[in-house]
Structure 1
Amino acid sequence: MSESTDLLTGILGARSTGAEESTLTRLSELCGGLPLALRIIGNRLLSRPDWDAAQLAVRLADEERRLEQFKAGDLKFANAFGMSYEQLADSTRRVFRNLAVVPGRDFDAALTAVAGGMPIEDAWDALDELVDLGLLQDSAGGRYRFHELVRLFARDRLQDEESAAGRQALTERVASWLLRMATMSGRWFEPGYGCPDRPDPDLTAQSSGEEADWWLRGHVDNWVGAMRTSVGDRPSPVLDCAESMHWFSERWVHGAHWHEVSRSERRPRPPSATWRSRRPG
C-alpha cells in the first residue's frame, strides 16, 4: 500500500504535512489503492483546509456511507463505474448486482450462475464482460472478486433496482446452495457417506474426495459466511453443514474457522428437524 500512500501524499502536497503517516496509510487502504478514489479523497482534503484527515478516515470506515464520500466537484466515484454498468447487457447487470450478496471474498463461475439464476455457460460470458469493463478482477484458478468499492457500488445497485423481497430470496438462494455444497463436500470424509448417491441436481458434481477438499478450502469464506447469516432463518441446514465437517476438520486442523463452525454444531436442532448426520440404513 506504500505506492498508494505516496500517490495520496503527492496529491496533497504541503497539505500532507499536517496529517500523520498512519492516517494517510489508512485513507489509502480505504481507497483500496484505486487512483481515482485517491484523487477524489485528495481533492476533498485540498479544497477543505479545515478538514481533519483522521475524521475523513472515520467517515470512510462507515461502509454504509462510504461511497457518498467519494465525490469532489465534478469527480464522483460512482459515476465512473456507473458508465461501465450502463454498457452491460441486462442479464450481466443482474449478475453484477446479485454478486454483492456473496458472503466471501471471491467466487467462481458456478456460484456466479447461482447468483445470476443462469446456466454456467452464460455465467462465464457475464464474468468475461465484467472483467473487460473493469468491474471485476480475475485471478488464477477461475476465481473472481470485486474491488471493495466496486462491491459497495454493486450493493447499492441491488438495493435500488431489486425489491426487499427479491433481495431476501436471492440471499437465501445463494446461502442455501453454499450450505448444501459444503455439506455434500464434507460428507465425502465421513464414514458411511463418501460419494453422494443422489446429489441435488443444481450442485456441482464431485468425483473424488480431493475435489471435495479443494472446494471446501477454496470456498471457506463463502460457506462459513452462509452459516453465519443463516443460523436464524435455516437452523437445520446450518446444523447439517456443521455436523458434516467433523471428519473433514481432521484434514485441516489449523483452520481458523473451526471454532465458529463448532459453535453452530452445538446449537439445538429444531424438534421438527430430521437428524441426518449419518446415512440412513
Structure 2
Amino acid sequence: MKIAIIGTGGVGGYFGAKLAQAGHDVTFLARGKHLQAMQTNGLTVKSINGDLKLDKVNITDKIRAIGPVDLVMVCVKAWQVKETAAELKAIVTENTLVLPMQNGVLAAEELAEHLPQQNILGGLCRIISKIEAPGVINHFGVEPTIIFGELDNTQTDRVQQLQQTLEQAGITAKATTNIQAELWKKFIGICVSGLLAVTRSTYDQVLEVPQTRQLMVELLTEIYTLSQRIGISIEPDLVANIMFSFESLPPNSTASLTRDVWEGKPSEIEYQNGTVVRLAQKYNVAVPVNRFVYFCILPMENRARM
C-alpha cells in the first residue's frame, strides 16, 4: 500500500514507522531539523512496546512531491488541518482514503471543504507519544490504537481492508459503525488537557487533590451533557470510565496540548475547550469549568501565535 504520513510527530512518526516496518511504501512529511535528521539517520521509535529503527525513510517537506497514494494519514495538529487540506488535493485520487487522526470533532468537516466527501473517513487515535529529539519518536503511554469508520456509519469493504492492513502492521485497530460517538468519547476525555495546563499539573497531580479532581469530573460532565443535547449516542457511565482510565496512566503523564501551553507554543485549545464553549452557546448548555479553562489559556494562546 502506498501511504502518505502528513505530519511526522508523535502520532505520525509512530504509526508511519509501524506501517513502513511492515513493508508498505510510506512517505513522511516533515520539516526543519526533524526532516534533516531523518534524511541522515532514518527514524527511531522508542516504545514501551518495543523499539524499532528505520535506517532509511522516504521523506519530503512538500506534499505535492509525494505523488498519488492509497492512504493519507493526516497527523498534523488540529489547527493545521485547514491549511493542509487544500494541498492534499495533489495526492488524492478517486480511490484514496483520507484518515484524519486529530483531537477534536472537526477534522473531517474541515477536510471536506477541499476534498471529496467520499474520500474521507472519520478517525482518531489513542497514544501518548512525542518527538523526543530530531528523528526520534518516544511512545511512553497507552496502547497505540486507531479507531475509524465511514462518516455515514455504513460498514464497507474498504474500512474492513484498512483494519486488516493496520492489524497486520501490529497496530491495534477498530472499525466502527458509529464514528461520531467514538470521536466524542475521545473529545470529552482530551479536553482535560486544558485543566492540566492551567493547574500546571500532571494527571496524577490533579487527581490526588480533591478539589482539582472534582473540577476534572465537572469539566467532563459538562461536555457529556453537551453531547447528549446534540444527540450523540454515548453510554451514561462514560465520565466514570474516563476517570478510571486517568487513574491507570503512568505517573507524570501529560497531554500534547498541556505541553504546548507550558512551552509557549500554539496549541489545540480552539479545537478542545474552545469548541466546547462555542457548541455550548449554540445548544444553550452551561459549561462554566470549560469556559474558565478556555479563557485562562486564551491570552497565552494569543501570545504564542504572535
Return the TM-score normalized by structure 2: 0.31
Greater strand fraction, Structure 1 or Structure 2: 2
Find the structure with the greater CA-based Rg.
1
TM-score by length of 1: 0.33
